[in-house]
Amino acid sequence: MKKIKEAYYYLFYRFYLFCETPPFVSDSDWKAAGFMAILEIFVFFSGCFYYKIYFNRSYIMEIDSPLFIIVIGIILMVKYLAFLRNDAWMDYNEIFENWPSKKNKKAGGIVLATIIGVLICFSLAIYLFNNINGFKR
């Protein structure tokens, strides 16, 4: 569980560093939390699309359904509690800044691969969903 928490904070750290580069410098913690929320929402929607494609084609996905509202609310609440409510994430940032260069590059590659994987999975889910439902151009 400790490794998962550390990986979660490292993902936030990498987004935070991205948001600290000019011209994005102000409110970097909020922006980094927003990027993480968007990534997690993509994972959730990918799961919903794949569920509809492979298991239950009669499943109706409505953005205003209680399931969607609750899941998105939980994602946003976790972001607030973990990163925005207090500055506990700063302790992790100090730890990550002191990592050796080789370890930091390896972890950064894993983060980049994860982000690209989520984006590809989401794009493929949308593509398959559109082909299943006859929205071809």
User: Each residue of 5-49: pLDDT tens digit?
Assistant: 888 889 999 998 888 888 767 788 888 899 999 999 999 999 988
Q: What pTM value is reported for the model?
A: 0.84
The count of domains in the chain is 1
137 assigned to some structural domain: no
Range of the domain at 76: 2-132
Q: What pLDDT is stored for residue 41 in this prediction?
A: 93
99 assigned to some structural domain: yes
Contacts of 119-128 with C-beta under 8 Å, sequence gap 24+, read 119/42, 121/42, 121/43, 121/46, 122/42, 122/43, 122/45, 122/46, 125/45, 125/46, 125/49, 125/50, 125/53, 126/49, 128/49, 128/50, 128/53
Question: Strand, coil or helix: what is 56?
Answer: coil
Give 135 or 108, the one with higher predicted confidence. 108
40 assigned to some structural domain: yes
48 assigned to some structural domain: yes
